[in-house]
Amino acid sequence: MAECPYQKLFIYEIEGELILPPDLADRKFLGCWREGDCSYLFFTLKREREVKALLGEEQIQRYLSETIIDYKDWEAGQPLTPIRLAGFYLCPFWEEPHPQPEEQLIRLDPGVAFGSGFHPTTQMCLRLISRLYHTTTLPTVLDLGTGTGILSLACLAMGAKRILAVDNHTLAIATAQKNAVYNRAENHITFVCGDVLDYLATPADLVLANIFFSVLSSMLDQEVFFNKPWYIFSGLIGTEVNKFITRMQRLPLEVVQVLDDNLWFAILARNTAST
Ligand SMILES: C[S@@+](CC[C@H](N)C(=O)[O-])C[C@H]1O[C@@H](n2cnc3c(N)ncnc32)[C@H](O)[C@@H]1O
């Protein structure tokens, strides 16, 4: 087993937006996450001095904090290892893959984007993708909130031909693009950094949306969204699922299957107005 290249994460919280020099990548920089008024810079080594040196003299940005965590605690709560799930073999890029002949291999470097394959919301999507592609041909996919690109890669492995993958975080898009290259899928996926709500009218055979309840709910408000035959919604927790299904009942969407895992829910839905 090869060693995971990320042991510790050093996360620097800055108020304001930083202009990042292009040579940061050489300094163990994983990426920058923007959230509200703050920027979070991720490194695999301590870089407090370097980050402070990036702050402008005009004091437009302010250094807030340094947090150090184990990489294994970032998403999975355990070391990332290969996972066998619903016919997929998800393998971190630093591990030697050993898929069974019938398994679809997906190589991943999640970095600090969401979508390592360990989270229940992702796993339920993978189960529904596997189920759907075993009975239906779905060449085009709209992946809303792509994260690491894991669900797009799963659809391609199952026979999809063209995918539009959207995320509003540059770090997620950069990670997903890297993962597409690892899987030789870069010619089949178009990545866009933007708000998913601006892409709801995009025609596709299947929509993947593993995203917050508030964003999922906003999708249901848009009539242009209902021009696709199949939908996988995930990211619903607790009572949100019942609220969401009640909303769906007034729309041309039929619930085909609901999965639950550890308080999380995912829904496979069919468009009843679609031929
Ligand atoms: C729960 S993660 C899902 C990642 C991956 N699809 C998976 O299933 O593992 C949700 C992703 O949606 C992105 N996101 C959240 N709100 C968004 C919005 N309004 N527009 C675009 N992307 C959004 C986040 O940055 C995050 O990468």
Q: What is the DSSP string of 158-226?
A: TT--EEEEEES-HHHHHHHHHHHHHTT-TTTEEEEES-GGGSTT---SEEEEE--HHHHHHHHT-GGG-
Calculate what percentage of the chain has a pLDDT beyond 90. 81
Query: Which band of pLDDT confidence, cut at 50, 70 and 90, is reported for residue 95?
Result: very high
What pLDDT is attached to residue 57? 74
Do 14 and 132 belong to one domain?
no
pLDDT digits (tens, 9 = 90+) for 15-47: 998 888 878 767 789 989 888 889 999 999 999
More confident residue, 148 or 54: 148
Number of domains in the chain: 2
Do 248 and 134 belong to one domain?
yes
Whether 2 has a pLDDT exceeding 80, the answer reads no
Specify the ligand 1 atom closest to the Cα of 119. 9
Span 162-179, average pLDDT: 96
Span 206-231, average pLDDT: 96
Do 152 and 213 belong to one domain?
yes
The one-letter code for the residue type at 60 is I
Report the residue among 114, 150, 214, 231 best suited for mutation to probe ligand 1: largest number of ligand atoms under 8 A from its CB: 114
For residue 255, give both structure tokens. Answer: 């619930």
Span 156-169, average pLDDT: 97
Q: Is residue 219 in some structural domain? A: yes
Q: How far apart are CA 140 and CA 126, in angstroms?
A: 16
Q: Which stretch of DSSP H or E encloses residue 126?
A: helix 120-135
Residue 140 Cα to ligand 1 middle (Å): 19
Q: Is residue 79 in some structural domain? A: no
- Asked which of 37, 56, 73 is the last residue of a domain, the reply is 73
Q: Is residue 207 in some structural domain? A: yes
Report the residue among 121, 195, 202, 211 best suited for mutation to probe ligand 1: largest number of ligand atoms under 8 A from its CB: 211
Residue nearest to atom 12 of ligand 1 (CA): 145
Whether 180 has a pLDDT exceeding 70, the answer reads yes
Whether 77 has a pLDDT exceeding 80, the answer reads no
Do 35 and 170 belong to one domain?
no
What pLDDT is attached to residue 3? 78
Q: Is residue 179 in some structural domain? A: yes
Q: Is residue 94 in some structural domain? A: no
Q: Is residue 223 in some structural domain? A: yes
Query: Which band of pLDDT confidence, cut at 50, 70 and 90, is reported for residue 130?
Result: very high
- Asked which of 39, 57, 73 is the last residue of a domain, the reply is 73
Do 152 and 217 belong to one domain?
yes
Span 148-175, average pLDDT: 97
We report the CATH number of the domain holding residue 186 as: 3.40.50.150
Crossing angle (nearest 10°) for helices 170-182 and 150-157: 30
Do 41 and 159 belong to one domain?
no
Residue nearest to atom 20 of ligand 1 (CA): 195
For residue 91, give both structure tokens. Answer: 């393998």
Specify the ligand 1 atom closest to the Cα of 115. 9
Span 51-57, average pLDDT: 85
Q: Is residue 195 in some structural domain? A: yes
Query: Angle at CA 24, nearest 5°, toward 164 and 149?
Result: 20
Specify the ligand 1 atom closest to the Cα of 196. 20
Do 138 and 193 belong to one domain?
yes
Do 192 and 59 belong to one domain?
no
Residues of the domain holding 57:
8-73
The one-letter code for the residue type at 116 is S
Q: Is residue 87 in some structural domain? A: no
Whether 1 has a pLDDT exceeding 90, the answer reads no
Whether 211 has a pLDDT exceeding 90, the answer reads yes
DSSP letters, 6-43, are -SEEEEEEEES-PPPPGGGGGGTEEEEEEETTEEEEEE
Specify the ligand 1 atom closest to the Cα of 125. 8
Query: Which band of pLDDT confidence, cut at 50, 70 and 90, is reported for residue 79?
Result: confident
Nearest to 166 by CA among 187, 141, 194, 188: 194
Specify the ligand 1 atom closest to the Cα of 143. 6
Residue 1 Cα to ligand 1 middle (Å): 30
Residue 195 Cα to ligand 1 middle (Å): 10
Residue 49 Cα to ligand 1 middle (Å): 31
- Average pLDDT over the chain, rounded to whole? 93
Specify the ligand 1 atom closest to the Cα of 172. 27
Whether 275 has a pLDDT exceeding 70, the answer reads no
Do 129 and 235 belong to one domain?
yes
Contact 164, 202 (CB under 8 A): yes
Residue nearest to atom 14 of ligand 1 (CA): 145
